[in-house]
Chains A and B, each alone.
Chain A
Amino acid sequence: MTFAPTLEFCIEDNVKRTIRFGLNGHPVTLDTDDDRMLLWALRTDLALTGTKYGCGEGICGACAVIVGGKSQRSCKTPLKTIEGKEVVTIEGLARNGKLHPLQQAFIDHGAFQCGYCTSGMLLSAVVFLDETPKPSRDAIVTHMEHNLCRCGAHQRIVVAIEAAARQMAGQS
């Protein structure tokens, strides 16, 4: 079996570092190997299981989170790269018990079935609407192309994103 040099380094080295970052609006400090992927630190050390494992290769989007305002695949995000940054996970999307318009739109339009891809869909869409507040349907499809859903909720996800965009832009 072949063996990545980076892993070998940290296994031999077993170096713990102190990593500080913002998580859903609160400061977090982890003392751990900074080559570990953010996905597993979230799910294991921080007990935040809303971010999901789907493929481990950044292809499916189930693990998508927001780092420094940008959509990132947490399964491919080493902790060393998030030092000093703001991270938002699905658990941080609703504020003070009030759902984000996208979350409400997903509920209103039935934009989920098994719900496993939903965290990644929502967080990808949040960043998208930040960047493109009045998207065309084509733009939504293009942006969401790298989030996979097996249940086939795609049509309703697009409708929900359109609805949330209108709502956030002041129409509804």
Chain B
Amino acid sequence: MVFVGFGPLAAFSQDAARLYPEDFNAYLVIGTNGRVTVFSGKIEMGQGVLTSQAQMAAEELGVDLGSIDMVLGDTDRCPWDRGTFGSLTTRMFGPALRAAAAKARVTLMSLAAQTLGVPSEKLSVKDGIVSVVGEPNRSVSYGELSKGAKIAQVVDREAVLRAASEFQVMGGSPTRLDALEKVTGASKYAADIRIPGMLYARILRPPMHGATLSRADTSGAAKLPGVTLVSRGDLVAVLHADPEGAANALALIKADWQTPGAKVDPENIFDHIVTLAAPPKVVAERGDVTASRAKAVRLFEATFRKGYVAHAPIEPHAALAEIKDGKVTIWASTQTPFPTRDRIATVLGLDSKNVRVITPFLGGGFGGKSADAQAVEAARLAQITGKPVQVAWTRNEEFFNDTFDPASVVKLTSGIDKDGQITLWDYSVYSAGERAITPCYDIPNARIRSTGGVAYGPGSTQVNLHPFAIGPWRAPGANMNIFAIESQMDMMAAAAGMDPLAFRLRNVTDARMRRVLQAVADAFGWKAAVSPSKRGFGLACSIDAGTYVATMAEVKVDPANGNVKVIRVVCAQDMGIVVNPEGARMQIEGGITMGLGYTLAEELRFLGGEILDRNFDTYDIPRFSWVPRIETVLIKNDNLAPQGGGEPPITTTGAVIANAVFDATGARMFRLPMTPNRVHHAITSLNAG
């Protein structure tokens, strides 16, 4: 039995679905030449939705994929969208897009029926040409029917979506629509957009969060030729026709700051969070946790910790703002063009209809490009100077201004009976949130509590807990929750003398989870053994964004220094109907690879509001030498509508490696990242007994 948690996602997803327009003309227009322009408020940041959305539209509309031109994230042209995050594009926007394309097809067929003088049932469509069945010469094209304009005809017939067994475009892996431009340097990102007369801005930043500016001497900067100086309260900036000119000017500003004392650091932050957090509130509850505590044969108590993690996309935040005749146009590297539009309108004192956000390709987002600060900065400076202004953060600023994955703590007490069945689960999570908080296992007595975490979309800060801004990081909170849940499962399995897979199968009746666990075991070649078996094999599973994930890993640990080398990872995933299999595999490979970062190395160094990691020399992200052989298994489940793809695969990485490390060494890791120092320490503590 799976808990049904009425967390934020259920309400959120219904809300999101209600906001998509009914009129199919909002989603597509067919030119007289037959080219179909499809409009989506989602953006492309590498997750492949440019292509998968085109596939969905082509499938339902009955046109060739090559005839589709996608327009993404343009607030003037695309249907309103909350933002691209939460593994929601295929899950939530997909149905609306498919329904619109299907409705358009039914309408066009009806128009064709009138034009050709035969009933719709006698017509078929292929590649945008409607013809009479058996008489291919009697035909009319979509372009001829639409005349390149909105289709006003309303057809009172239901548009039925294609079944998976009928797919001709969905379900396949065509060459990505952005492939050619991305390998030739033609793909444009926000900082690549150029307008004559534009200025490049650099903004004076404080040395730490919480600092206030006492005095800024800009006289040196003002003397440089070609420099425009802006000084409006909190906004001190230099602008120049050349980026290095702006950088040189910035270097000449002498500023004095009042800096707050530092109270927190990477070690004391955990107690700080637990002490200051609002009391955890119950998210789900069943049975009697207190009574069952007394009856458990074996009790397990653990505390898990994870530090702050940076998003660190290779493309830093960038935006270009132009104001002409009272209308603002912003090209921005943002996951949330519509909320950005509204925020800029508010800041500039304009109506939203006079602000247009255009979203080029993003060089990565991962949840970190939804606070829009750089777009607001560019808009303000454009308004002040009257010129087009680019704000492109340096890597330094990208680290400083990040909305970090929050540091978090899990306290977990669980118990099993003599048969290895879980009888008790008492879970409290601080500051990670409720994503993936509910274990998939059958547990008769459980209490799951949570305090703090991040909101979806624009980042939330909890100023009393964290010394700088926090925000959603790929599968926000789920990485921590799964690390804790699946590590605990592994501990209980070992204590019960059971193989990790057998223990999980003993405790889960959910058929979908059993199937994905069996699939990964078959692909991995798992042979049952009690941990630690010295083989270095680990298992972890999760449910996230409607997708079931089971992952197995093999590691080698060097006991001399604690280095963890991940040799092989096999991941089985059930995501319902798969729109684009290669795309899904790429997200699995990408999620696992990115996940190695928070698992093995990534933890922000800071002192109060001072960010000590400012570039990749000290903040190590996964490199080629870290990457294991990754094999992916996509479970066939065409009875289920498409589920999330961008985030689920990253969620098991911490747990599967921790469990593999335990199997290799007998050392249980309770904290992420599992740096060589920490692993080495855990091993030597074990040996010391």
Q: Known contacts being A53-B392, A55-B615, A145-B623, is A153 close to B590, with CB within 8 Å?
A: yes
Q: Can you list 12 A-B pairs with a CB-CB distance of less than 8 A?
A: A44-B242, A48-B185, A49-B191, A52-B314, A59-B617, A103-B184, A106-B183, A112-B182, A113-B46, A122-B183, A140-B624, A151-B594
Q: Is the CB of B624 within 8 A of A158?
A: yes
Q: Is the CB of B591 within 8 A of A152?
A: yes
Contact of B314 among A14, A40, A148, A154 (CB under 8 A): A148
**Tally of chain A residues near chain B (CB < 8 A):** 60
Q: Is the CB of A50 within 8 A of B314?
A: no
Q: Which of A48, A113, A156 has the most CB of B within 10 A?
A: A113
Q: Tell yes or no: A19 within 8 A of B by CB.
A: no
Q: Is the CB of A53 within 8 A of B183?
A: no
With the chains together, A168 CA to B129 CA distance in Å?
Answer: 42
Stretch at the interface among B98-106, B356-364, B376-384: B356-364
Stretch at the interface among B71-79, B85-93, B243-251: B243-251
Q: Is the CB of B189 within 8 A of A116?
A: yes
Q: Known contacts being A91-B185, A113-B48, is A156 close to B589, with CB within 8 Å?
A: yes
Contact of A59 among B184, B225, B616 (CB under 8 A): B616
Q: Tell yes or no: A171 within 8 A of B by CB.
A: no
Q: Tell yes or no: B586 within 8 A of A by CB.
A: yes
Q: Is the CB of A37 within 8 A of B395?
A: no
Contact of A50 among B46, B48, B186, B243 (CB under 8 A): B186
With the chains together, A51 CA to B192 CA distance in Å?
Answer: 10
Q: Is the CB of A115 within 8 A of B593?
A: no
Binary interface encoding of chain B residues 500-543 relative to chain A, with 1 for a CB under 8 A from any of its CBs, else 0: 00000000000000000000000000000000000000000000
Q: Is the CB of A57 within 8 A of B617?
A: yes
Stretch at the interface among B24-32, B154-162, B173-181, B546-554: B173-181
Contact of A152 among B181, B392, B594 (CB under 8 A): B594
Which residues of chain A have C-beta atoms less than 8 A from B192's C-beta?
43, 49
Q: Which of A55, A93, A115, A141 has the most CB of B within 10 A?
A: A115
Which residues of chain A have C-beta atoms less than 8 A from B592's C-beta?
152
Q: Tell yes or no: B285 within 8 A of A by CB.
A: no
List which A72-103 residues lie within 8 A (CB) of chain B. 89-91, 93-94, 99, 103
Nearest Cβ on chain B to A29's Cβ, whole angstroms: 18
Q: Is the CB of B183 within 8 A of A141?
A: no
What 3 A-B pairs have minimum CB-CB distances, sorted nearest first?
Answer: A50-B185, A116-B363, A114-B46
Instruction: Give me 12 other A-B pairs in contact (C-beta within 8 A), A37-B244, A115-B183, A150-B314 excluded.
Output: A43-B192, A53-B191, A54-B395, A59-B617, A91-B185, A107-B175, A110-B176, A116-B189, A116-B361, A152-B590, A152-B594, A155-B589
Which residues of chain B have C-beta atoms less than 8 A from A144's C-beta?
624
List which A11-65 residues lie within 8 A (CB) of chain B. 11, 14, 36-37, 40, 43-44, 47-57, 59-60, 62
Contact of A156 among B48, B242, B586, B617 (CB under 8 A): B586
Q: Tell yes or no: A7 within 8 A of B by CB.
A: yes
With the chains together, A99 CA to B186 CA distance in Å?
Answer: 13
Contact of B586 among A113, A140, A158 (CB under 8 A): A113
With the chains together, A103 CA to B185 CA distance in Å?
Answer: 11
Q: Which of A14, A107, A117, A154 has the most CB of B within 10 A?
A: A154
Q: Tell yes or no: B47 within 8 A of A by CB.
A: yes
Q: Is the CB of A49 within 8 A of B183?
A: no
With the chains together, A124 CA to B185 CA distance in Å?
Answer: 14
Which residues of chain B have C-beta atoms less than 8 A from A107's C-beta?
175-176, 179-180, 183
Q: Is the CB of B316 within 8 A of A53?
A: yes
Q: Tell yes or no: B315 within 8 A of A by CB.
A: yes
Q: Tell yes or no: B430 within 8 A of A by CB.
A: no
With the chains together, A142 CA to B624 CA distance in Å?
Answer: 8
Of all chain B residues, the one with the shortest Cβ separation from A114 is B46
With the chains together, A3 CA to B191 CA distance in Å?
Answer: 26
Nearest Cβ on chain B to A54's Cβ, whole angstroms: 5
Contact of B185 among A51, A145, A149 (CB under 8 A): A51
Q: Tell yes or no: B687 within 8 A of A by CB.
A: no
List which B596-645 residues lie within 8 A (CB) of chain A. 615-617, 621-625, 627, 629-630
Q: Tell yes or no: B138 within 8 A of A by CB.
A: no
With the chains together, A90 CA to B185 CA distance in Å?
Answer: 6
Q: Known contacts being A44-B242, A51-B185, A116-B363, is A152 close to B589, with CB within 8 Å?
A: yes
Nearest Cβ on chain A to B147's Cβ, whole angstroms: 35
Of all chain B residues, the one with the shortest Cβ separation from A121 is B183
Q: Is the CB of B590 within 8 A of A141?
A: no
Q: Is the CB of A152 within 8 A of B185?
A: no
Q: Is the CB of B224 within 8 A of A11?
A: yes
Nearest Cβ on chain B to A104's Cβ, whole angstroms: 8
Q: Tell yes or no: A119 within 8 A of B by CB.
A: yes
Nearest Cβ on chain B to A141's Cβ, whole angstroms: 5
Nearest Cβ on chain A to B458's Cβ, whole angstroms: 21
Contact of B630 among A11, A43, A60, A155 (CB under 8 A): A155
Q: Is the CB of B248 within 8 A of A7?
A: yes
Q: Known contacts being A94-B184, A142-B625, A155-B627, is A115 close to B312, with CB within 8 Å?
A: no
Q: Is the CB of B627 within 8 A of A154?
A: yes
Q: Is the CB of A57 within 8 A of B615?
A: yes
Binary interface encoding of chain B residues 170-206 relative to chain A, with 1 for a CB under 8 A from any of its CBs, else 0: 0000011011111111111101101000000000000
Which residues of chain B have C-beta atoms less than 8 A from A43's C-beta?
192, 243
Q: Known contacts being A56-B394, A107-B180, is A115 close to B590, with CB within 8 Å?
A: no
Which residues of chain A have C-beta atoms less than 8 A from B213's C-beta?
none
Q: Tell yes or no: B254 within 8 A of A by CB.
A: yes
Which residues of chain B have C-beta atoms less than 8 A from A90's C-beta?
184-185
List which A112-133 residues lie within 8 A (CB) of chain B. 112-119, 122
